[in-house]
Structure 1
Amino acid sequence: MRVRLDVSYDGTDFSGWAVQPGRRTVQGELETALTTVLRVPAVPLTVAGRTDAGVHATGQVAHCDLTGLPDGLLRRLAGVLPLDVRVRSLRRVPGGFDARFSALWRRYEYRICDQPAAAEPLRRRQVLTWPRPLDVASMAAAAEQLTGLHDFAAFCRRREGATTVRDLQRLTIERDGAEIACTVVADAFCHSMVRSLVGALLAVGEGRRPVDWPPSLFALGRRAGEVSVAAAHGLTLVEVGYPPDAELAVRAEQTRARRA
């Protein structure tokens, strides 16, 4: 049977999601825990989005195929997993469900505190502390011009054979007390895209770049060296959206074809 896992983790001490030799990763910890509890040689996981080193998640989704769903599996996993990663729920899903390719969108949130004296110490691992005040209105105006279907090559670290065309469905910048919340929703993201978008908007917020500068970078068609990549710890994967069960398999096939 196919099983969906909803996962959260503090990415501070992880070298990202994906398994890497000699490094501690979220996937590595989860697959080790599953093989230990289920007493099987391997349980490969497919994930909705591979987060980078230091990036957190409260709404990550993965799937695996099991011969059955044992009673108490969630509790037993909690007993062997480290405290910085948790499987929040486990449930059987249709065979057409694919955590990666069935997804309609991913929602990330990047948090910034531009009032250092008001920075909350308990949130230092999830919020970027910025040393100077930021113009949120200018950042929001620039963000509005970035939404839509574009080639985001200027904001991505290109990977061989991978497209940088994405549908950026939402990018909002809002003041939330001493913090600024940057909400980003897209069908998918290329490598370092969210953090690069935030880096460009920070330059606008400080007044170092005009409001129309970030969208002007679309014309480059290549990585923009002048765009800084914001620190990883301010970024959290919050939610992944999927279609109704009857449409899961069709969505997965459509996504695979588009990526190809």
Structure 2
Amino acid sequence: MATQRTTRRPDPAVPDLRLRLDIGYDGTEFAGWARQPGERTVQAELSTALSAILHVDGQLYAACAGRTDAGVHARGQVAHVDVPFDKWHAVAKKVPFRLRGTLPPDIRVTAVREAEPGFDARYSALSRRYSYTLCDSTTGPDPLARMWAVRHPNTLDVDRMNAAVPQLLGLHDFAAFCKQTDGRTSIRTLLDANWSRNGEIVTLSITADAFCHSMVRSLVGGFLPVGDGRREPEWMGEVLHAGERHNAANVAPAQGLVLEEVVYPPADQFLARQAITRAIRQL
């Protein structure tokens, strides 16, 4: 269980420096990214490790590009952390090595560096790309793949699932495929989605400017009855435009989902991108 500590309050007398961290993790044993009382989370583990390495009183706050749910994995998560300038430069060259030794084996910081001016891991991002992996073998997934490949009992037709994609692309209100959160919009721009097969493994690669809560897993739940023939491809568009969750489109299990990549604009466009991201989306 992650140690709970008070969040650090910046000292106005000591200037802060923003760091960018590229992160991967196996989400199996985590209750998600965000800190939760009494739960083991990626944010808590990372913040605790950084606070100890930099000898900071209180808890540093790591803000991420995509707040993954319990059981969801990441290869390409990005976060930023504001740290005291003097604490960072005292140990900067040693931080990557010390993170490897301090973090548990199911989290790895693959890169840590000083962020360019205006960088914000969440609001500067242009897009996020996720993958979702299924196995439709009658015997189930390889035992070594069971933590990231979700078994589906029926054979899936990737051509049928890909035929459902075009009606979802572009700017839409994805309320039918999101867990609603008070005060937050479900309007998103879906940039790309593609299903592919490699033997018994079926994988979705999906990219959007951002995703609302459970959006990818809900879309997967909608694609499945199309892929196994229970619904026609046009049905996905009907659900989308109805604007209400459908009981045939269940939220797929968390273990198949991986945050693969976060894309950012050139540094001189960070602030302009933040203004767009923070604006209320409208159709």
Q: Tell me the TM-score normalised to structure 2 length.
A: 0.89
1:135 counterpart (149, 157, 163): 157
- Map of 2:279 onto structure 1: 257
Q: Does 1:33 align with 2:55?
A: no
Corresponding residue of 1:93: 115
**Does the CA contact (< 8 Å) of 1:158 and 1:223 recur in 2?**
no
Residue matched to 1:11 = 27
Q: Secondary structure at the match of 1:117?
A: coil
Moved over 6 A (4+): none
- In the TM superposition, residue 38 of structure 1 has moved relative to its aligned partner by 1.0
Of 234, 245, 269, the match for 1:223? 245
Q: Counterpart of 2:128?
A: 106
Q: CA offsets per residue over residues 184-223 of structure 1, 9 Å max, x none?
A: 1000000000000001101111111111111111222233
Which residue does the alignment assign to 2:68? Answer: 51
Asked if residue 239 in structure 1 is aligned to residue 261 in structure 2, the reply is yes
Quote the sequence identity (%). 50
CA contact (8 A) 1:144 1:172 kept: no
User: Does residue 183 of the first structure (1) align with residue 192 of the second (2)?
Assistant: no
Between the aligned partners of 2:138 and 2:106, the Cα distance in structure 1 is: 26
- Counterpart in 1 of 2:18? 2
Single out whichever of 207-216 and 159-168 deviates more from structure 2: 207-216
What TM-score, normalized by structure 1, do the two folds share?
Answer: 0.96
1:42 maps to: 59
Shift of 1:146: 1.3
* Inter-partner Cα distance in structure 2 for 1:48 and 1:58: 12
* Count of aligned positions: 260
- Structure 1 CA distance for aligned equivalents of residues 162 and 273 of structure 2: 32
Pick from 119, 133, 136 the counterpart of residue 141 of structure 2. Answer: 119
CA-based RMSD of the aligned residues comes to: 1.4
Contact 2:225 2:248 in 1 (8 A): no
Asked if the contact 1:162/1:259 (under 8 Å) is kept, the reply is: no
2:117/2:267 contact within 8 Å kept: no
Q: Give the residue type in structure 1 aligned to 2:60.
A: V
Q: For structure 2, which runs of at least 5 residues remain unmatched after alignment?
A: 1-16
Q: Check conservation: 1:143, 1:201, Cα contact below 8 A.
A: no
Displacement, 1:119?
2.4
Q: Is the 8 A contact 1:154 1:223 kept in 2?
A: yes
In the alignment, the residues of structure 2 paired with residue 225 and residue 131 of structure 1 have an alpha-carbon distance, to the nearest angstrom, of 18
Given that 2:140 and 2:151 are in contact with CA atoms closer than 8 Å, whether structure 1 keeps it comes out as no
